[in-house]
Amino acid sequence: MVGNSSAPDAAAEGEQAGPDLTAGTTAGVQAGVPAREPDPDRLPDRIWTVPNALSIARLLGVPVFLWLVLGPHADGWAVILLIAAAASDWLDGKLARALHQESRLGQVLDPTADRLYIGVMLIGLAIRAIIPWWLVGVLVGRELVLAVALLRLRARGWEPLQVSFVGKAATLCLFDAFPLLLLGAYSGHAALVAKVVGWAFVAWGTALYWVAAGLYLVQAWRLTSAPARPEGGPEAAGGQGPLSEVAEPEQPDG
C-alpha cells in the first residue's frame, strides 16, 4: 500500500508503525481499504455565484416568453427576451471561467435552460401553427432518447455528460431559427426572408441536434458497457475519461 514503505523496518525493530496520514485514516489503512483520493475534475457544489444567478434569471424568463407568444402575441418583446437569454447564456460561461466560479449547479442549469427555451418555443409556435407538430415530435423524441441514456448512466454510477460542441451548435441554430420563424409569420418581404432563413436554421439545427444525440449515445454506451464506475472515481462528468476523444466536451458554464 502506498505510504507504508517504513512498516517492515519498524516491525523488525519491534516498534509500532505510526499511521500514514497521506494514505487516509488509520482505520482505513488497517482495514486495507485504499483512501479515496480527491477528484481534481469534480466541480464545487457552491450555489451563490454570479453565473448561477444569470442562469436562474434566464430560467425565470421561460414562462414569460411563453406568455408573450400565446397571450398578447407580443412577438417583438418575445424576440428581445430570447436575445437577452442567449446573451446571458454566453456571458455566464465567460464569467464562470474568468471568476473561477464553475459549479455543479451551473453545469446543470445551463443545458436545462436551453432545453426549456427550445421546448416553449416549439409549443408556442406549434400552437400558433407556425411550425408543424411533427417537428415538435422529432425534437422532443430526441430528448426522450437521451433521458433513457441518462438513466442508464446514473444506474452505472456516471454523472451526466457535458454538452458537446455539436450540441451547442445545434442549440444555437434552433435559437436563431424560432425567432426568425416567429417574425416570418407576418407579411412583407422582410418577413419572407426571415421565414426562409429560419427554416434553413431549423434544418441545420435539427440535423445537428440528432448528431449530438448520437455522439452522446456512443459515449453512454461505451461507458455503461465497461465495469461499473466506482463512486468518487477519477473520471469526471463530461466525457473526460475513456471517451473524451469521441466528442470533445466544453468547459462547464457556471
Percent of the chain with pLDDT strictly greater than 70: 71
- Which of 6-10, 115-119, 133-137 has the highest mean predicted lDDT (pLDDT)? 133-137
The answer on pLDDT for 36 being more than 70 is no
Residue with cell 464569467: 95
Look at residue 138 in the predicted model and tell me its pLDDT: 94
List of residues 6+ apart from 186 with CB closer than 8 A? none
The answer on pLDDT for 123 being more than 50 is yes
Q: Which is more confident, 167 or 63?
A: 63
Look at residue 61 in the predicted model and tell me its pLDDT: 93
DSSP state of 21: G
Q: Quickly state the pLDDT bin for 5 (edges 50, 70, 90).
A: very low
CA distances 66 to 18, 84, 175, 184, Å, are 65, 15, 14, 18
Mean pLDDT of the chain: 76
- What is the mean pLDDT of the segment spanning 32-59? 69
29/21 Cα distance (integer angstroms): 9
- pLDDT tens profile 8-19: 444 444 444 444
248/241 Cα distance (integer angstroms): 11
DSSP state of 4: -
Look at residue 121 in the predicted model and tell me its pLDDT: 92
Phi/psi at 138 (5° precision): -65, -45
- Give the CB-side neighbour count of residue 202, counting CA atoms within 13 A: 22
35/23 Cα distance (integer angstroms): 6
- Which of 7-11, 205-209, 242-246 has the highest mean predicted lDDT (pLDDT)? 205-209
Contact in structure between 174 and 205 (CB atoms under 8 Å): yes
Q: Tell me, yes or no, if the pTM score tops 0.85.
A: no
171/158 Cα distance (integer angstroms): 24
Look at residue 198 in the predicted model and tell me its pLDDT: 95
Which superfamily is assigned to 50-225 in CATH?
CDP-alcohol phosphotransferase transmembrane (TM) domain (1.20.120.1760)
- pLDDT tens profile 180-204: 999 998 989 999 999 999 999 999 9
Contact in structure between 241 and 158 (CB atoms under 8 Å): no
Q: In terms of Cα–Cα distance, which of 194, 130, 142, 193 is closest to 167?
A: 142
- Which amino acid makes up residue 163? V
CA distances 231 to 15, 25, 226, Å, are 36, 18, 14
Domain spans in the chain, listed from the N-terminal domain onward = 50-225
The answer on pLDDT for 149 being more than 90 is no
Look at residue 245 in the predicted model and tell me its pLDDT: 35
Q: Quickly state the pLDDT bin for 237 (edges 50, 70, 90).
A: very low
Look at residue 100 in the predicted model and tell me its pLDDT: 83
Question: What sections of 15-103 are H helices per DSSP?
Answer: 26-30, 50-70, 75-98
